[in-house]
Amino acid sequence: MQQYCQASCRTYRNPNRHRWFGTDGTQVNKLSKYFTLEELTVSQYATRKGISNIPTGQEMLNLVATAAKMDEVRKLLGKPIYVSSGFRNPAVNLAVGGSATSSHTSGLAVDFVCPEYGSVKEVFDAIRKSSLRYDQVINEGDDWVHLGFGRQQRLQQLKATFSKGRATYEVVK
């Protein structure tokens, strides 16, 4: 991890450039072997609405840890992962209808697909049957996988069903 986000504890945001820089002045973009800062902070909604989605210091540290965990997922699946949502600041999270307690707001959750591995259900099953440590894995309506790395590490496995714009969650055994 150090080779990707050098001096991660000392990175800072340049408010004039909206980029992260290490103490040596180099821009930090690659958070891990497979994941960049850009792909874990991209938000089409934020871009369209002109909302800044830039992580703070602790959120950045969380993203580095999340990227390392997602490298484990990438290794498990053996195929590229396509992130649809990673970090969302509270304004973006509220605007897209995210939960007020979402791990996305602290940089500890990722929504993704891995079509070259298989369906969302196959990716979900591979993760839940693996030895990976996580807080929550959710098959979100067979559209994407939500993987949260919150502090609790509950290994919670859920299936979401959507109806009339609302999600219902059931525990998967």
- pLDDT reported for residue 8: 40
Residue 116 pLDDT level (bands cut at 50, 70, 90)? very high
Could you tell me how far CA 59 lies from the centroid of its own chain? Answer: 11
pLDDT tens column, 121-169? 999 999 999 999 999 999 999 999 999 998 889 999 999 999 988 889 9
Cα–Cα dist 24/21, whole Å: 8
Cα–Cα dist 56/115, whole Å: 32
pLDDT average, residue stretch 39-55? 89
- pLDDT reported for residue 70: 98
What would be the CATH architecture of the domain defined by 34-171? 2-Layer Sandwich (3.30)
pLDDT at residue 11 greater than cutoff 80: no
DSSP string for residues in 44-62:
HHHHHHT------HHHHHH
Cα–Cα dist 97/68, whole Å: 27
Cα–Cα dist 135/155, whole Å: 5
Q: Which two tokens stand for residue 92?
A: 């973006």
